[in-house]
Amino acid sequence: MNLSVKIFAALVLSVIVGLIAGEAGLPFIKWWIAPIGTMFINLIKMMIVPVVFTSLVVGMTSLGDTKKLGRIGFRTVAIYLFTTAIAIIIGFAVAGVIQPGVGSELGAGTAPKVKDAPYIMKVFLDMIPTNPIDSMAKAAILPTIVFALFIGVGIIKVGGDRAQILVKFFDACAEVCYKIIAMIMEIAPIGVFCLLLPVVAANGPKVLLPLLSVIVAMAVGGLIHAVGVYSIMAKVMGGHSPISFFKGMSEAMMIAFTTCSSAGTLPVNMKNCQEKLGVSREVTSFVLPLGATLNMDGTAIYMGVCSVFIANVFNVPLTFEQMGLIVLTGTIASIGTAGVPGAGLIMLAMVLQSVGLPLEGLALVAGIDRVLDMFRTTVNITGDAAVAIAINKMEADK
């Protein structure tokens, strides 16, 4: 049986066992099963900084010139922004049809404490590390990327024998990282089962049913975006059939679904893109880490769906201008969203605030956020990979 089939089987099994166990089984599951899941995700996280850093340095040195990097960088960010804006519009459209929250008696609970309003320039400010070791210690991906880029450029500029020693060294390190990731993935079915079981047991039908319309809207929006936009991108821009694209991505998608973390899925996504989709190491190591932090199409869909939902629940009709503003702030907010579980909920506050929707709505969404996060994270990382295959083809056709 191949690995993705095993992971899928584990996923299905965890849903069945979780529903049977329910809240009664929760203490046992939390005590004995959940920590095994955490150990698995920690193993993957352990590899984020080493694999991003070493493979990016190698990727840079194999690019050979900085002009090429500028070109790849510009195209990557442009496609990322474009797909994100489409995602929010799809979120709106689906929510417009399903109308989550209409006629509900959910009422307002107490809003969770929202952190200081996120400030967009901070994303750019935080990109430059004042102390790269500190950034790596904190697994801050963007500053780590920037540092790796400088090391790469430095190596190219030094050139000659001395540079070759480093190129070989980092190349060997990157290879070791990929081997370790492959080893960790062998136990992925167990990890996925143990991660998902507590979620299913805790969020049984009781929690999910009242907000089913939001979950359905999120899932349908995610599906339309993935099947529509990514299939077209895979076919037209990436030279892959949609089936081979999604098949190649299946492991990473399931890990994203269970972990709800783009950053946590990054090592697996990098492995899948290189081994199954044939994306070069230089493109993978640049496009994917950037995407894991900047490109969040699933989160963008969520912003669209939740704004409509909250507007419906509180009976505030959304105007066309407000929708335009949501697309704008939602795109920016999704850039500022960290690739960790629950980050999108905090950024949703920024979007709601920008159009004057009640922040109390957050409390309603918070209860099911984990489930919504599963869908959005899966879309998020799939979007990164779709852009990676597109950029890879553009570079190969050069």
Whose CA is closest to 313, among 371, 357, 368, 350? 357
Q: Compare residues 329 and 337 and give the one whose CB is closer to ligand ASP.
A: 337
Q: For residue 27, what are its two tokens? A: 């203490």
CA angle (225, 243, 92) in 5-degree steps: 5
Distance CA 177, CA 73 (A): 24
- Nearest approach in angstroms of CB 117 to ligand ASP is 17
- Nearest approach in angstroms of CB 341 to ligand ASP is 5
- Nearest approach in angstroms of CB 373 to ligand ASP is 5
Close Cβ partners of 153 (under 8 Å, ≥ 6 residues apart)? 60, 66
Q: Compare residues 136 and 218 and give the one whose CB is closer to ligand ASP.
A: 218
- Nearest approach in angstroms of CB 299 to ligand ASP is 4
Site string for ligand ASP, 268-307 (x = CB under 6 A): ----------------------------x--x--------
Q: Site residues for ligand ASP, window 91-120 (CB under 6 A)? A: none
Q: Compare residues 174 and 345 and give the one whose CB is closer to ligand ASP.
A: 345
- Nearest approach in angstroms of CB 32 to ligand ASP is 26
Q: Compare residues 156 and 255 and give the one whose CB is closer to ligand ASP.
A: 255
The one among 231, 377, 382, 392 contacting ligand ASP by CB under 6 A:
377
* Residue range at the interface with ligand ASP (CB under 6 A); choices 58-66, 158-166, 230-238, 371-379: 371-379
Site string for ligand ASP, 236-265 (x = CB under 6 A): ------------------------xxx---
CB atoms within 10 A of CB 203: 16
Q: For residue 20, what are its two tokens? A: 């049977």
Count of residues touching ligand ASP (by CB under 6 A): 16
Distance CA 123, CA 71 (A): 22
Residue 339 near residue 297 (C-beta atoms within 8 A): no
Q: Which long-range contacts does 75-81 make (Cβ < 8 Å, 24+ apart)?
A: 75/391, 75/394, 76/286, 76/287, 76/290, 76/291, 76/387, 76/391, 77/290, 77/294, 79/387, 79/390, 79/391, 80/290, 80/291, 80/294, 80/295, 80/383, 80/387, 81/331
Hey, is 226 helix, strand or coil?
helix
Distance CA 199, CA 29 (A): 10
Does residue number 225 form part of the binding site for ligand ASP (CB under 6 A)?
Answer: no
DSSP 3-state percent helix, strand, coil across the chain (nearest 5): 80, 0, 20
- Nearest approach in angstroms of CB 178 to ligand ASP is 22
Residue 143 near residue 128 (C-beta atoms within 8 A): yes
Question: CA gyration radius for the chain?
Answer: 21
- Nearest approach in angstroms of CB 256 to ligand ASP is 7
- Nearest approach in angstroms of CB 131 to ligand ASP is 25
The one among 339, 362, 384, 388 contacting ligand ASP by CB under 6 A:
339
Q: Site residues for ligand ASP, window 341-370 (CB under 6 A)? A: 341-344
- Nearest approach in angstroms of CB 70 to ligand ASP is 27
Q: Which residue is nearest to ligand ASP (CB)?
A: 344
Write out the residues near ligand ASP by the rule CB under 6 A.
260-262, 296, 299, 337, 339-344, 373, 376-377, 380
